[in-house]
Amino acid sequence: METEGTYDVQAIRAQFPILSRKVKGKDLVYLDNAATAQKPVAVIDALVHYYSHYNANIHRGLHTLADEATATYEASRAAVMHFVGASSTDEIIFTKGTTESINLVANAWGKSFLQEGDEIIITSLEHHANIVPWQMVAAEKKAILRVIPIDDNGILDMEAFKSMLGPKTKFVSVVHVSNALGIINPVEEIIRLAHEYNAVVLVDGAQSSVHLDIDVQTLGCDFYVFSGHKIYGPTGVGVLYGRRDLLESMPPYQGGGEMIKEVRFEHTTYNELPFKFEAGTPNIADVIALKAGIDFINTIGKAVIRKHEETLLEYATAKLKNIKGLRIIGDVKNKVSVISFVVDGVHPQDLAILLDNQGIAVRTGHHCTQPLMHRLGIVGTTRASFAAYNTIEEIDVLVEALNKSLKMLL
């Protein structure tokens, strides 16, 4: 692609079987990557290979299949450790996804350490997964949930944040990259400021893990959470990175097999990290296949993918701005390849149906950020989000389809 330098987008696309399918008789244009990314053949093969060759439970059996499954599962944990720059595999807990990782921390940390009148701070940009668990634990512990405001462009009001911090601040839980708008929040500064008050900080990396280089030690966060399915891995698997001393101080989230050292009817002792937080048979196949997703990203290089996505973002932003009545929400400099927009007089759902008829997948609605939509005074947006395999030509298809659809709707 001459517009994209040496980036061989066609070779990348060839790794994704789904991209060659048709939708409503048209070539699929998949621009809903912030919801879930498509899977390269290596991820699909890893699942098939596990089930066809060494399906066994892990950490239990003493037979060959069990050994192979355990070693491959733990190799995935090591890959995740490198992916986020953690210093030990003990700090990497496998969960179902971002949602479960946040619920784990809200329950295990929150219920142990929060007291009446303590404050938890989140932002106006949060996904429901980083709001509701904190509301639930706050109600139970009589703690107070406070929200950092934003301006009309979605930029956090850092002065307001500074004024909220105090001795009652116990936990700060912030989204790294807004899923609805694509805005990158200044999490380094948030972490530094929160730590001045000894508050614990969780970073919701559901949208940042795929686009930005993540080093939890440089960031200095206490917890970092993300989902496998957004980084080209399978659904049903997610990650909780936690600082060792914090994880050690927390009680288990769930009880059951594998998370114990010794069980008596009178008393149970718990297993070492990370197993203390992985009760029951885990999602072995998807954890194993997650490594193939990480390998896919590492083979190309996150920075290389990001550069490609920035080219797409710039091109799409310029093209969309030419459409009469279209307004980009969160049109700021510091963002990832997500464009959210509204068109005067058009309901996002009507637009989505017309785009789908032309083979284009975008997400419309509130993006599980109802309070954000409420703050911005809109019912929802249409969101196009780009990944490693998207092309300039696909953006041209989107723009043409948008123009055609808007002619019908307005």
Cβ 99 to ligand C6P shortest distance, Å: 3
Cβ closest to ligand C6P, residue 177 vs residue 288:
177
Q: List the catalytic residue out of 69, 362, 368, 372.
A: 368
Give the three-class secondary structure for 382: strand
* Chain length of the chain: 410
% helix / strand / coil in the chain, to the nearest 5?
45, 20, 35
Q: Which residue's CB is nearer to ligand C6P, number 69 or number 214?
A: 214
- Which of 99/271 has CB closer to ligand C6P? 99
Which residues would be at the binding site for ligand C6P (CB under 6 A)?
A: 34-35, 97-99, 127, 129-130, 175, 179, 204, 206-207, 227, 363, 367-368
- Picking from 123, 118, 239, the residue whose alpha carbon sits closest to that of residue 171 is 118
Which of 205/252 has CB closer to ligand C6P? 205
Contact of 31 with 361, CB cutoff 8 Å: yes
Q: Are 368 and 127 in contact (CB under 8 A)?
A: yes
Tell the smallest beta-carbon distance from residue 96 to ligand C6P (Å).
7
Closest CA to 384 of 360, 350, 408: 360
Active site residue 221: no
Q: Residue 36 — left, alpha, or beta (φ > 0 → left; ψ -120 to 50 → alpha)?
A: beta
What 3-state DSSP class applies to 164? Answer: helix
Minimum CB separation of residue 341 from ligand C6P in Å reads 15
Residue 248 CB neighbours (<10 A): 12
Residue 125: CB minimum distance to ligand C6P, A: 8
Pairing of strands 363-365, 381-385: antiparallel
Cβ nearer to ligand C6P, comparing 15 with 340? 340
Phi-psi group of 14: left, alpha or beta (phi > 0 → left; psi -120 to 50 → alpha; rest → beta): alpha
Shortest Å distance, C-beta 375 to ligand C6P: 16
Which residues does the annotation mark as catalytic?
A: 368
